[in-house]
């Protein structure tokens, strides 16, 4: 079972991975976006880290809601409300339970990803974070719910964005010229899913 401490460690590790890869994410974003994805997410996850150090939410749902709220208020770009919605909706689905099973987390994450799709109006193949998140949550779609499989699916989905033409966000204005670049949102999503799998493996 996964408790609030597990979710805290997942988000803190996410913040570490975003720190580590911030320059890379911004570089990806400079090719097809406005070159701020790494620094925006770094600011957001630094705020999440600070909030989690100052407060100790008692349930997995509360940890995710707190983090989501911080992302929405601090990121300053579209990734703030998108990741904020992912975490908040997932947290809402988990409700008040003090412990959740991996299967319950998988189910909640699917609802979170669906909320992201609804907010951004994007779908798979649009060259967005969904191209990483949707395969990841699909890999959790059974009772064995392997976070390692989700990590692999997200990484694969991210690589698969390279040839795609962007259909959402600023990159979509580039049309065909957006092809040939990895989507920064898919790349950062893969980091967050990787942090989940790493946290799960470190717990065992």
Partner 1 sequence: MSGEQQVGIVLVSHSAELATAVAALARGLAGRGVTVPIAAAGGTPDGGLGTSSELITQAAASVDQGVGVAVLVDLGSAVLTVKSLLAEGDELPEGTRLVDAPFVEGAVAAVVTASAGGDLDAVEAAASEAYGYRKQ
> In the complex, which residues of this chain contact partner 1 (CB under 8 A)?
36, 40, 69, 72-73, 76-82, 84-85, 88, 119-120, 169-170
105: burial class by Cβ within 10 Å (0-12, 13-18, 19+)? Answer: buried
| Min separation Cβ 66 and partner 1, Å | 13
Question: Which one, 117 or 194, has the nearer CB to partner 1?
Answer: 117
| Min separation Cβ 200 and partner 1, Å | 28
Question: Which one, 46 or 146, has the nearer CB to partner 1?
Answer: 46
| Min separation Cβ 154 and partner 1, Å | 21
- Measured at the CA of 128, the angle between CA 14 and CA 126, to 5 degrees, comes to 160
Question: Which one, 7 or 83, has the nearer CB to partner 1?
Answer: 83
| Min separation Cβ 169 and partner 1, Å | 6
Contact of 15 with 48, CB cutoff 8 Å: yes
Question: Which one, 82 or 150, has the nearer CB to partner 1?
Answer: 82
- Measured at the CA of 46, the angle between CA 43 and CA 52, to 5 degrees, comes to 145
Token code pair at residue 64: 């995710």
167: burial class by Cβ within 10 Å (0-12, 13-18, 19+)? Answer: middle
């Amino acid at each position: 079972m996964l408790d609030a401490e597990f979710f805290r460690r997942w988000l803190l590790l996410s913040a570490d991975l975003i720190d580590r890869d911030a320059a890379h994410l911004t570089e990806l974003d400079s090719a097809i976006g406005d070159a701020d994805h790494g620094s925006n997410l770094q600011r957001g996850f630094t705020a999440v880290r600070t909030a989690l150090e100052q407060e100790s939410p008692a349930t997995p749902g509360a940890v995710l809601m707190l983090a989501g709220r911080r992302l929405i208020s601090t990121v300053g770009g579209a990734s703030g409300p998108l990741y904020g919605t992912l975490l908040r909706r997932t947290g809402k689905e988990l409700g008040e339970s003090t412990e959740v099973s991996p299967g319950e987390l998988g189910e909640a994450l699917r609802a979170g990803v669906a909320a992201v799709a609804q907010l951004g109006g994007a779908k798979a193949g649009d060259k967005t974070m969904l191209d990483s998140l949707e395969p990841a949550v699909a890999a959790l779609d059974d009772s064995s719910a392997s976070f390692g499989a989700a990590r692999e699916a997200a990484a694969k989905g991210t690589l698969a964005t390279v040839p795609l033409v962007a259909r959402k966000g600023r990159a979509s204005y580039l049309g065909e010229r957006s092809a040939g670049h990895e989507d920064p949102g898919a790349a950062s999503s893969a980091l967050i899913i990787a942090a989940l799998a790493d946290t799960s493996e470190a717990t065992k």
